[in-house]
Amino acid sequence: SAVISQKPSRDICQRGTSLTIQCQVDSQVTMMFWYRQQPGQSLTLIATANQGSEATYESGFVIDKFPISRPNLTFSTLTVSNMSPEDSSIYLCSVVSTYTQYFGPGTRLTVL
């Protein structure tokens, strides 16, 4: 299995600011994803973080709002830009290891 850590675990931010969330995996993985869970909702895939190339975004998500970096096979960042209260969610990093998808503990973001 893969062990995933995320920083920060939670944050409260002001409208219009940006927050960068870090995801660290204890082993090299090819596939890494970012998901969002809005209050009372299910998990929704934001994008695939590709190592060495631009992230691949799902419908409804754009790079300007959610820029992603993937400098190597164990680390990725997701930035939530120009935040609004609607961005209040849990953001989760996920990786595929041995054909199973594992999730980090999540970052709980509250935007005031």
Partner 1 sequence: DQQVKQNSPSLSVQEGRISILNCDYTNSMFDYFLWYKKYPAEGPTFLISISSIKDKNEDGRFTVFLNKSAKHLSLHIVPSQPGDSAVYFCAVPKEYGNKLVFGAGTILRVKS
Query: How far apart are CB 15 and partner 1 at their closest, in Å?
Result: 24
43 binds partner 1 (CB under 8 A): yes
Closest to partner 1 by CB, 43 or 63: 43
| DSSP H or E segment with residue 89 | strand 89-97
65 binds partner 1 (CB under 8 A): no
Give bridge partners of residue 34 from the DSSP assignment: 47, 93
99 binds partner 1 (CB under 8 A): yes
21 binds partner 1 (CB under 8 A): no
Under DSSP, the state recorded for 86 is G
> How far apart, in whole angstroms, are the C-alpha atoms of residue 31 and residue 73?
9
Give bridge partners of residue 32 from the DSSP assignment: 49, 95
25 binds partner 1 (CB under 8 A): no
CB 44 within 8 A of CB 35: yes
Closest to partner 1 by CB, 74 or 97: 97
78 binds partner 1 (CB under 8 A): no
CB 94 within 8 A of CB 45: no
Closest to partner 1 by CB, 7 or 15: 7
CB 89 within 8 A of CB 36: yes
Name the residues that contact partner 1, by CB under 8 A: 4, 31, 33, 41-45, 48, 58, 92, 94, 96, 99-106, 108
